[in-house]
Amino acid sequence: MTGAAESTRPVVAVLYREALPPRLPEIEALAEVRLTKADGLAAAMDGAEVLYQWHSFSPALKENWSAASTLKWIHVSAAGVSQLLFDELIRSNVAYTNSRGVLSRSIAEFTLGFVLDMAKDAQGSLRLQQHQRWQHRVSRKIQGQRALVVGTGSIGREVAKLLSAVGMEVDGAGRTCRPGDTDFGQIHSSRELSGTVLAYDYVILAAPLTDETRGLVNAAVLAAMKPSACLINVGRGELVDTGALTGALTSGSIAGAALDVVHPEPLPEGHPLWGMENVIITPHMSGDTEEYLDDLGRLFVDNLKRYCGNEPLENIVDKDLGFVPAARAHP
75 is catalytic: no
Catalytic residue among 88, 265, 277, 291: 265
Residues 112 and 97 in one domain: no
Residues 37 and 152 in one domain: no
Give the pLDDT of the chain (331 residues) as one tens digit per residue.
555 544 589 999 999 999 999 999 999 999 999 999 999 999 999 999 999 999 998 999 999 999 999 999 999 999 888 889 999 999 999 999 999 999 999 999 999 999 999 999 999 999 999 999 999 999 999 999 999 999 999 999 999 999 999 999 999 999 889 888 999 999 999 999 999 999 999 999 999 998 899 999 999 999 999 999 999 999 999 999 999 999 999 999 999 999 999 999 999 999 999 999 999 999 999 999 999 999 999 999 999 999 999 999 999 999 998 889 875 454 4
Q: Supply the pTM of this predicted model.
A: 0.90
306 is catalytic: no
Per the domain annotation, does 1 fall within a domain?
Answer: no
Per the domain annotation, does 218 fall within a domain?
Answer: yes
Catalytic residue among 23, 34, 236, 263: 236
- Three-point CA angle 311, 314, 320, nearest 5°: 120
Residues 267 and 299 in one domain: no
Residues 98 and 154 in one domain: no
Residues 238 and 271 in one domain: yes
Q: How crowded is residue 126: how many other Cβ atoms within 10 Å of its Cβ?
A: 11
Question: What is residue 8's predicted lDDT score, i.e. its pLDDT?
Answer: 81
263 is catalytic: no
Residues 20 and 49 in one domain: yes
Number of domains in the chain: 2
Residues 152 and 270 in one domain: yes
Residues 222 and 276 in one domain: yes
Per the domain annotation, does 4 fall within a domain?
Answer: no
Length of the chain: 331
Report d(CA 260, CA 80) in Å as an integer.
14
Residues 95 and 213 in one domain: no
Per the domain annotation, does 266 fall within a domain?
Answer: yes
Residues 92 and 191 in one domain: no
Per the domain annotation, does 47 fall within a domain?
Answer: yes
Domain containing residue 114: 104-281
> What CATH number is associated with residue 230?
3.40.50.720
- The sheet carrying 186-189 orders its strands as 178-179, 186-189, 169-174, 146-150, 202-205, 230-233, 256-259, 279-281
Catalytic residue among 146, 178, 214, 284: 284
Per the domain annotation, does 2 fall within a domain?
Answer: no
